[in-house]
Chains A and B, each alone.
Chain A
Amino acid sequence: MADASIGLWGVPLAVAAGAVRAGTPFLFVSLGELLTEKSGRINLGLEGTLVMGAMTGYGTAYLTGSPWLGVIVAGIAGTVLGSLHAGLCSLPRVNDIAVGIALMLFGTGLAFYLGKPLIQPQAPTLPAIPLGNWSNYAAVRDALHINVLFIIGLALAPCILWALRSTRWGMILRMVGDSADAARAMGYSVDIVRWVATATGGFLAGVGGSFLSLYYPGSWSEGLSSGQGITAVALVIFARWSPMNCLYASLLFGGAGALGPALQSVGVTSGYYLFNAAPYFLTLFIMVLTTSSEHRLSGAPSELSITR
């Protein structure tokens, strides 16, 4: 029976599929956070942005019937929250980490408030490309059902790498992140550059949120995000501020997140909650391994308060 279960092989397969599926929101949020951090500021509020993106994206898709419009609106909501963060942080004596925590609570609260009527209805979901039709196994076909947003994210990582390295904008951004004084001396407005970086970062995080509600798990609920946003922030540190590393790390974290459900599907149910917390264990473990109190992390923007 070709469509039968493939036994224990389902676990690594499901983890690989989860790496792609559950890794996509990590990818978008971490790329967004990367841009923000490269400009010398940290936005911990991306957790709230992610949830707002999920809610607005779902609401728009439900009302208009177009999931892609939902993705755009989610990005716009993220841009608004990112701009709010940038605006507040440009005031003197306002701490970027604290504003991030505030926006995390504000974004989540606002999304829960506005999202109340969206818990019941079913919105159209984003399309996926079936790359696995050659296979006889249902599990393999499921695993190779690749969402278009993932492919966009896949392309985005090298694009951002190139932009940061070789374009004028990328260099200005990195200069602002490494020495605000140097940027000021060259006549660039540090606040405006950081605003653009944070707003763009918010856009990407919003899009990442819309993936949660519009594709996987594919509905809106208040328990939709349980810390993917904050994990993605930590992931940027792990990735040493490199877009390509963000991509690999997102896949790793997505796979870790898929471990719990995968084991449950083959009958291992005892450690369900602990396996679900695997990405957080992993993040903490990796942060302990990769950081040091002695010297600065390589690749860290010098203006970043978090690594000082």
Chain B
Amino acid sequence: MATDATVGGGVSTAKPAAATPKKMFDREGLGRAAEAVVIPLGALLVSLVLFGIFVAFAGINPIDVYNYMIVGSVGSWFSIQNTLTRASPLILTALCTALPAQAGLMIIGGEGAFVVGGLSAIAIGLPLAAHAPVMIVQIVMAVTGMAAGAAWIAIAGALRHWRGVNETISSLLLTYISIAIFNHVVEGVMRDPASLNKPSTHPLPAADLIGNIPGMDVHWGLVYGIVFCIAAYILFFHTTFGFAARMVGGNPRAARLAGLPVGRIVLIVTALAGAAAGLAGMVEVAAVQGAASATMAAGYGFTGILVAFLARQNPLAVIPVAFLFGGIGASGGLLQRRLDMPDASVLVLQGIIFVMILASETLFGRFRIFRPKEN
């Protein structure tokens, strides 16, 4: 079942399983799972080679680049913790694209929900921090962040369903709007007069920040993300609601004929997606930055889109893929320092991977090795 995800509104390759014996289905499922791992991995390798050629043109030894990428992402305990820390927002922002994709929607507004979630979390957290215990402050902040993110992406879902507005474009426009609102508020009513050069809100009291996982220098946001992914996986692949949502994604007309409340499902799915990204924004504020400032819109939402596509929109596969991109992000600093590469190198690599992953879509179903013979 794990590979049953309809990717980006594409055609589901699932064959009718009813007529085939149970054993056959398992072998076929296994073959398809192998295909879903091998083809993206192959695309990833090709992307790394292409990136090597690209940097070679810039006069940098590709072997050094690969070497530093490994050292910078998993080469030491410090690098591993850095990788995990960078992966944790990506897990949640990727869900913002992956969950709507299950219902056939292509949402790319994770950055907007991230920013809105962080801003509303700090807006409620700051006044609350003086009066309530830590536990309450954090729970209220998390719930507010998720609710704000949920409402934000649900706008795109609602406009899609009731007004026919394309959700891809509207979610991206909402992102630009959210960043404008964020800057307006952070440099306006919520600005801490003490932050001179870099406008930011008042900081949260240190006692109210989300702490680290025991024994690691990685905050609890990583665990929130993993739990969210597992819950989303169970919801979408092992409940009736999830089945209905994926039916909406596979064939909206059939879903409507079957009497499914398509509008409500679209709203719930987009709200869940926004809640994931909103939670990531809350964690960014309450665990990493301690306050909201312009550095929040650092592109986690956009990298999340890429993570979702590489994970073939599967909520569980999002976790390892997010680690991978966390690693690429973590090694970026080392590449900059040691090889004097611009910080945009990471963006170039991500862009190449994205293009290659999409091109590899065409290979699905082409290799017989993944398809056990009939009968």
Contact = CB atoms under 8 A, between A and B. Distances in A.
Nearest to A47: B172
Contacts of B352: 106
Nearest to B168: A97
B172 A237 contact: no
A106 to B, nearest CB: 3
A206 B364 CA distance: 33
A97 B354 CA distance: 13
A230 B173 contact: yes
Given A227-B172, A231-B173, A233-B169, A93 B11 contact: yes
At the interface, is chain A mostly helix, strand, loop or mixed? helix
At the interface, is chain B mostly helix, strand, loop or mixed? helix
Contacts of A107: 351
Contact of B342 (A94, A95, A113, A276): A113
Contact of A95 (B10, B176, B183, B351): B10
Given A88-B359, A274-B180, A95 B348 contact: no
B165 A288 contact: yes
B302 interface: yes
Interface string B223-235: 0000000000000
For this complex, into which size category does the number of interface residues on chain A fall?
Answer: 35 or more
B181 interface: yes
A154 interface: no
A227 B348 contact: no
B213 to A, nearest CB: 31
Interface string B185-226: 001100000000000000000000000000000000000000
Interface in A264-303: 270-274, 276-277, 280-281, 283-284, 287-288, 291-294
Contacts of B162: 293
B315 to A, nearest CB: 18
A24 to B, nearest CB: 20
B234 to A, nearest CB: 26
Contacts of A271: 184
Interface residues of B, number: 49
Nearest to A231: B173
A234 B169 contact: yes
A44, A93, A271 — which one has the most chain B CB atoms within 10 A of its CB?
Answer: A93
Contacts of A233: 169
A189 B125 CA distance: 59
B299 to A, nearest CB: 9
A41 to B, nearest CB: 14
Nearest to A270: B188
Interface in A91-106: 91-95, 97-99, 101-103, 105-106
A92 to B, nearest CB: 5
17 contacts: A94-B358, A95-B358, A102-B355, A105-B302, A110-B351, A113-B344, A113-B345, A226-B176, A227-B173, A230-B169, A234-B173, A283-B173, A284-B170, A287-B165, A287-B166, A288-B163, A291-B166
Q: Which are the 4 A-B pairs with shortest beta-carbon distances?
A: A106-B351, A109-B347, A277-B180, A112-B344
Interface of B: 8-11, 106, 108, 159, 161-166, 168-170, 172-174, 176-177, 179-181, 183-184, 187-188, 302, 305-306, 309, 342, 344-348, 350-352, 354-355, 357-359, 361-362, 364
